[in-house]
């Protein structure tokens, strides 16, 4: 088996605890930061293969050159294989082979798995249908994993921050439930302004932090830098692409969605028609 050059191979709970700690300033990468998955299991496998990863004898993807995948969250909802995505990401984290932060959809799924009665909106219905067909053990394992996800990471001596909706600079490194909640859920816009990036991530317009901040949450047609921040959710579940940001290279690698799994009610940014169609 190929050993991960950066981190030791699987030691179960210790690896999970290590990989899900917020403070990762001692890790300098290189990283492959991967956008919202929403159950797009085939595209996840295709992207990791495209990035040069290979599967070991436990079907865990590892980089032969010591790169570390980091997921920006939203593993579940809307797509075809949320359970498979959670299972793979969980096994990678438990083997020291990936990191993952909490997205708003992951926290909702955790609450459902914990027995809360929630309206089955925003794609939660697909995740519920999948988990209801699984054993209690599988559901409990997923719930514990999703509940342990950190709200954000600090990497590379504090120069790189990864959070599902991003995070204003004064909150980098703040490890409290409120900041975790803010990082995962962001600021709720009015739901009608098509300029989602501004209403859902209002801090970005004035961001002057030294750290580069990588986030997901809001689908965009093209991942572009703005004030040292970049959103890499390129709407795979809506039929567009799954994207990784390679760090420190700052290059983008994408694979196309196999199909349209869900319909986006609001337009992508920039609105279709303002960029070349695919």
**Least distance CB 152 / Mn ion (angstroms):** 16
**Residue 48: how many other CB atoms lie within 10 Å:** 24
Q: Closer CB to Mn ion, residue 36 or residue 156? A: 36
**Least distance CB 122 / Mn ion (angstroms):** 9
Instruction: Look at the block and give the residue holding tokens 């082979």.
Output: 97
Under rule CB under 5 A, residue 196 binds Mn ion: no
**Least distance CB 70 / Mn ion (angstroms):** 16
**Least distance CB 74 / Mn ion (angstroms):** 4
Give, as ranges, the residues between 21 and 40 that touch Mn ion (CB under 5 A). 36
Q: Closer CB to Mn ion, residue 27 or residue 75? A: 75
Under rule CB under 5 A, residue 74 binds Mn ion: yes
Return the CA Rg of the chain. Answer: 17
Nearest residue relative to Mn ion (C-beta): 74
- Contact segment (CB under 5 A) with Mn ion among 52-60, 71-79, 183-191, 201-209 equals 71-79
Q: Closer CB to Mn ion, residue 10 or residue 219? A: 219
Q: Which residues bind Mn ion (CB under 5 A)?
A: 36, 74
């Amino acid at each position: 088996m190929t050993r991960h050059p950066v981190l030791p191979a699987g030691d179960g709970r210790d690896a999970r605890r290590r990989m899900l700690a917020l403070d990762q300033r001692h890790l300098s990468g290189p990283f492959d930061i991967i956008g919202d998955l929403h159950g797009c299991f085939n595209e996840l496998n295709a992207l990791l293969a495209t990035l040069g990863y290979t599967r070991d004898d436990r079907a865990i993807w590892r980089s032969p050159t010591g790169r570390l995948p980091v997921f920006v969250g939203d593993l579940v909802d809307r797509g075809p294989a949320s359970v498979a995505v959670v299972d793979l990401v969980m096994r990678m984290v438990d083997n020291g082979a990936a990191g993952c932060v909490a997205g708003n959809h992951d926290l909702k799924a955790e609450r459902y798995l914990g027995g809360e009665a929630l309206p089955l909106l925003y794609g939660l219905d697909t995740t519920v249908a999948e988990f209801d067909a699984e054993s209690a053990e599988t559901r409990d394992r997923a719930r514990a994993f999703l509940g342990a996800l950190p709200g954000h990471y600090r990497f590379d001596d504090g120069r790189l921050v990864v959070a599902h909706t991003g995070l204003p600079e004064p909150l980098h490194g703040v490890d409290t439930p409120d900041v975790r909640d803010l990082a995962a859920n962001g600021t709720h816009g009015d739901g009608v302004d098509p300029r989602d990036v501004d209403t859902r991530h209002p801090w970005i317009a004035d961001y002057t932090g030294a750290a580069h901040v990588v986030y997901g949450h809001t689908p965009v047609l093209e991942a572009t830098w703005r004030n040292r921040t970049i959103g890499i959710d390129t709407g795979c579940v809506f039929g567009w692409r799954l994207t990784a940001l390679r760090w420190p290279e700052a290059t983008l690698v994408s694979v196309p969605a196999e199909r349209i799994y869900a319909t986006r009610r609001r337009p992508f940014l920039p609105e279709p028609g303002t960029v070349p169609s695919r």
